[in-house]
Structure 1
Amino acid sequence: MTEAAYDTGNIFAKILRGEIPSHRVYEDEAVVAFMDVMPQGPGHTLVVPKAPSRNLLDAAPSTFGPLFSTVQKVARAVRKALNADGVTVMQLNEPASGQTVYHLHVHVIPRFDGIPLKPHTGTMEKPEVLAENAEKIRAALGS
């Protein structure tokens, strides 16, 4: 099985370079976290390493420490900020898994008892809702 090459024109690479705006909630030298513009629930956040790789299958092992320590930090903040009952953390690899953006990323989605995830339909959230949720999460990260 041949792996496809990393595409530097993918949307997350463009977000990392600042070519496309995003509602960032966290950034350090290795990782950026920002709001998913097509959330499966309120507060759906993406955690993305700055190092280029299509997904978990081709990423350098050194990517995972900074990535997953940030995933934990963001998951705690998302849960607190949205007063969630739990958090779903998902990471998809290749088309058969549902991956649609080919830059390694982790979904952090606050969950609420009795409320299912919305389907990933391509419907974009209102910018003001994303901004409000991003502010709540940034505040929770700061506390």
Structure 2
Amino acid sequence: MTIVTKIINREIDAVIIYESENVIAFADHDPINFGHILICPTTPYATFIDLPACVHDEITQVARDLYQRIEFAFKPDGISFLQNNGKFNELSHYHLHIFPRFDADNFGWQSGDIGIQSIDKLRESLACL
């Protein structure tokens, strides 16, 4: 049983922002900033590709609504979305992070060591797609 399932079953307390038969959204317990929310299917799909289209569509609709609500409530400099799969999905349950961003929040992107690549190298690396 995943942490999300325990929240859905009310075995773990959470600040629930939205809930339907297929989707739940709640505050992240370790937020980047206040207003950091996880949007999850109520069924424990592991990855993005596992989501049925109707669940994906509802998650997107909830994200659009929450974007506007976060913008109004927190007046951020921007809003970020983050979604991890495979071993980077620590919950073993699909979830989409949405959170307000501020200039001084110290959240950032750290690239690997491969550095900036030429167009030719990028084209070559993606030829198999």
- TM category, shorter: 0.7 to 0.9
What's the counterpart of residue 100 of structure 1?
90
Distance change in 2, residues 1:52/1:99 (3 Å): closer
Structure 1 stretches of 4+ with a deviation exceeding 3 A read none
What's the counterpart of residue 115 of structure 1?
105
Distance in 2 of aligned mates of 1:58 and 1:42: 29
Distance in 1 of aligned mates of 2:44 and 2:52: 9
Cα RMSD of the aligned pairs, angstroms, is: 1.6
Aligned identity (percent) is: 29
**TM-score calculated relative to the size of structure 2:** 0.76
Aligned length: 108
For the 8 Å contact 2:45–2:94, the answer to whether it is kept is yes
Q: 1:57 aligns with which of 39, 43, 49?
A: 49
Q: 1:29 aligns with which of 12, 21, 38?
A: 21
What's the counterpart of residue 84 of structure 1?
76
Looking at both structures, which has the greater relative contact order when contacts are Cα pairs under 8 Å and sequence separation is at least 6? 1
Q: What amino acid sits opposite 1:52 in the alignment?
A: P
For the 8 Å contact 2:40–2:96, the answer to whether it is kept is yes
Structure 1 stretches lacking a partner, 5+ long: 1-8, 119-143
For the 8 Å contact 2:78–2:100, the answer to whether it is kept is yes
Q: What amino acid sits opposite 1:80 in the alignment?
A: F
- Secondary structure of 2:38's partner? strand
Q: What amino acid sits opposite 1:19 in the alignment?
A: E
Q: Deviations over 1:11-56 (max 9, x none)?
A: 0111111111101112223211110001122221111111331121
Greater Rg by CA: 2
Structure 2 stretches lacking a partner, 5+ long: 109-129
- Secondary structure of 1:104's partner? coil
State whether structure 2 residue 76 is matched by structure 1 residue 69. Answer: no
